[in-house]
Amino acid sequence: MVLQTRRFLICLTTLAALVASGELFAQVPMTSSYASLGPSFTILDIERPSPAGTLRVSGVSIVGEAGVVLSVFSADARLATGSLDYEDAEGSATLAEAELMVGFRPLRWVALQVGPHLRKLDTTQSENWVFWEARIWFGATLLERVAYSYMKGWLILSASEPENTTFDNGFGFEGGLLLKTTTLPVWVKTGYRIDRVTFNELSSADTPQQLFLLFGINFNI
């Protein structure tokens, strides 16, 4: 596991150095910030050893994102919280997540991010996780000044797990579409997001999926 993580970090660093060497100094320094808010339809699959088996909870969460971009550097925060209902049983679970990623975007179409990701899951018992994640983000222009696509994948480098739990591995992916207006600094973002955390020697996993629709605004600082 340690070897895999080290290899991943080496790959990320190499990639960052390669892309930064070409266009980094051609970037125009720009300072801006953004904020967005919107609903997310969330499905959480909770896999546990028998006899518990796999449980699914789902419902609507509220998602908020905000960030600051300073030249090629960025800081992005994301909060999501919602009460999710069991699909095959009575009761509900509460899922709350918070992320803070600092990033480096050497090129227009790629960025590297790292930071903590906190997850609090309250079912019959409460689980509090702190993940340290490394992410890579890709973006592309579909229609000039109107439509952009993006996707990002991440690896959980380490985790601070709940009691009686041993973290194994974790991955995530998010892909989506950003629609802007040409006249106003507002935008809409919609996307799909999934991540999977496996623990207790691969016997357990939490897999949240989100389909979200965020309404955002940009601010020039």
Partner 1 sequence: MRLIRHLALALVLISSIPIAASAQSARQLLQDGVFRYRNLEYDSATVLLERALDLSLRPPLALEDRADALTFLAASLVFMGQADSAEVVFTTLVRLDPRYEPDQLVFPPEVTSVFESARRATMAIAIEAPERTQFLLDQGQFSARLFASSVHDILAEIRTADGARRQTIYTGPVRDSLQLSWNGRDPAGDVAPSGLYMLEVTSRDARGMALRTVTMPLEVSVSRADTLPLPTTPPDSLFLPEETTSGRASAEALVGGVIAGAAVLLVPLAIAPRIDLSSARYVIAGALGAIGVVGTLKYRPGRPLPDNVEYNENLRRALRAQTDSILRENAALRGEVRFVITAGEPTSLDRR
Minimum distance, C-beta of residue 191 to partner 1, in the bound complex (Å): 6
Q: How many helices (H) and strands (E) does the chain have?
A: 1, 10
Q: Does 194 bind partner 1 (CB under 8 A)?
A: yes
* Contact range with partner 1 by CB under 8 A, out of 19-27, 69-77, 114-122, 140-148: 140-148
Build a one-symbol-per-residue string for 42-61: x at contacts with partner 1 by CB under 8 A, - elsewhere. -x-x----------x-----
Residues linked to residue 161 through DSSP beta bridges, in sequence order: none
% helix / strand / coil in the chain, to the nearest 5?
10, 70, 20
| Binder among 67, 103, 191, 216 for partner 1 (CB under 8 A) | 191
* Contact range with partner 1 by CB under 8 A, out of 19-27, 97-105, 129-137, 202-210: 202-210
| Binder among 13, 31, 126, 141 for partner 1 (CB under 8 A) | 141
Please give the single-letter amino acid code of residue 155. Answer: L
- With contact defined as beta carbons under 8 Å apart, do 34 and 216 qualify? yes
Whole-number Å distance between alpha carbons of 9 and 158: 12
- Going by DSSP bridges, is the β-strand pair 53-70/167-180 parallel, antiparallel, or unpaired? unpaired
- With contact defined as beta carbons under 8 Å apart, do 11 and 185 qualify? no
Q: Does 143 bind partner 1 (CB under 8 A)?
A: yes
Build a one-symbol-per-residue string for 71-110: x at contacts with partner 1 by CB under 8 A, - elsewhere. --------------------------------------x-
Q: Does 209 bind partner 1 (CB under 8 A)?
A: yes
